[in-house]
Structure 1
């Protein structure tokens, strides 16, 4: 009998591997169901609504009728100066705020990684606490701290002769940026720290034997090895920052002359939908914003998530 004929059949083994693969994939089913229900479905609904517009007859006093207008809403949105003005403000804010948050997150992660395990465990949870505070609650806390009437920050700076009005046009973005940094640094730090802990310690030992200093190890070994984690947290920060809404919306209640109703793209969309009742136009602006956010994230991911060349 030939050797090939003596080999056992492979079909049961292949079926077992397929069953195990399906079991593993089933753990992702709740996520994909939620993603399809709460992300994909609203996206298609918004796309459908953006192709229509409610028009009134009789000089605007008659009954409104919904008419198909094609891409007219998109054309109007692309020419909306206030909407793109808010987009520009948020883009500039993201270009300054996100790198500072990432630098602080990496610095804290490197400090925790260099410390003893007991000391790192002691400081890791307090650094993560601000991220666990709900966003609305965090914003209300900082609005109280920024208040010139009851907050402690304005009197503190007044002791040094500094008139710090955190609601003024020159400081409002700094106030929002400080709030965003306070809320997100802990989360980004935890992701980077977990990536650092996954690096085999033998790599660091080899570098020390070659005479590398701790600073050299951090800059030339640790940071490059956590590059993928940095890309992930930066992409998430881009997506979140370009869609910033709750923070400036709550700040608007304190300083409406500084934080206007179209201060950010999401605020402009909210105003069109719920203040002016133009749901179809708001849907078109939402699609435009989604395309901008997706494009910005994809470009950054494409430019940064490349394998290092030897």
Structure 2
């Protein structure tokens, strides 16, 4: 065998890619996915099938017994748990469209040449997202209390009395906290998607006489539809899992009970009610409800996309 042939053989041998290489790259994600998402779901479901039963009128100790779907029946019979679902759905029906509209507006605005010092204003809009949701709720809770809020005191001095924590508006006060916190991250996602749109399309639209508004509505938004769907879907999932903001504001108002949202009801059942098995059944129900709503959103988006495609 010649020297050149041997060298070529070694190069092919060293350059060959192992068939296991793709699996090695994917393995960390799969392990974390199974460990932190699949495993808790399985544990919650298994835990929901059991219940702690007392014996001897409570003096003979207790034991864990298999009860099948009895905890799910109890969960569906719990009115305080169920009433939280229409509340968060109403919350999401208002908060998500408003948040996505504001985020899309800023993303489209920053994608034009109209804004000077664009990086500074992008950072300003994004900055609230860097504040943890618990801290954000504490900050807004301070602004919601008439006795200490400079904003409410100013309005009161000019004859306008506001009560953000009243029972009729407290849900929207919670929505305001989430809106303030999450607009920035959604704006960044949409703006990043806009950067991948070919600039030639904008130039062609301008040649055809399209202005900035028409270009934004008829070209930019349709081109970033997948990013809009992603942010909308994640926002809806976050809505159904609403917990931090009402849990923090609950400490300063009696208009937010411990079971105000499904997640809060699950927490209260597990800690205050000391019934982790019933709480597990509630958690499974909440997870299934989130899955159903997500699938409905995806189906609606697919139907809208198909109609748009047939209309072309």
Same-fold call, TM > 0.5? yes
Q: Which residue of 2 aligns with 1:287?
A: 284
Higher mean C-alpha deviation, range 90-99 or range 146-155: 146-155
Q: Is residue 287 of structure 2 the alignment partner of residue 271 of structure 1?
A: no
State the alpha-carbon separation in 1 of the partners of residues 87 and 167 from structure 2: 12
Across the aligned residues of Structure 1 and Structure 2, the Cα RMSD in angstroms comes to 2.0
State the alpha-carbon separation in 1 of the partners of residues 252 and 113 from structure 2: 42
Q: Which residue of 1 aligns with 2:211?
A: 213
Higher mean C-alpha deviation, range 224-233 or range 298-307: 298-307
SS at match of 1:114: coil
State the alpha-carbon separation in 1 of the partners of residues 152 and 158 from structure 2: 10
Q: Which residue of 1 aligns with 2:112?
A: 114
State the alpha-carbon separation in 2 of the partners of residues 23 and 114 from structure 1: 43
Q: Which digits, 9 at most, give the CA deviation of each residue in 1:248-272, with x for residues without a partner?
A: 01111111x2100110001100111
Structure 1, gaps ≥5 residues long: 1-11
Note closer, same or farther for the CA distance 1:138–1:66 as it changes in structure 2 (3 Å cut).
same
State the alpha-carbon separation in 1 of the partners of residues 36 and 197 from structure 2: 36
State the alpha-carbon separation in 1 of the partners of residues 266 and 71 from structure 2: 13
Structure 1 outlier segments of 4+, above 6 Å: none
SS at match of 2:161: coil
Aligned residues: 295
Shift of 1:60: 3.6
Note closer, same or farther for the CA distance 1:51–1:175 as it changes in structure 2 (3 Å cut).
same
Note closer, same or farther for the CA distance 1:202–1:175 as it changes in structure 2 (3 Å cut).
same
Structure 2, gaps ≥5 residues long: 1-11
TM-score by length of 1: 0.90
Q: Which residue of 2 aligns with 1:57?
A: 55
Note closer, same or farther for the CA distance 1:22–1:184 as it changes in structure 2 (3 Å cut).
farther
Q: Which digits, 9 at most, give the CA deviation of each residue in 1:82-128, with x for residues without a partner?
A: 11101110111011110000000000111100136863222111111
Equivalent residue for 1:199, pick from 175, 197, 200: 197
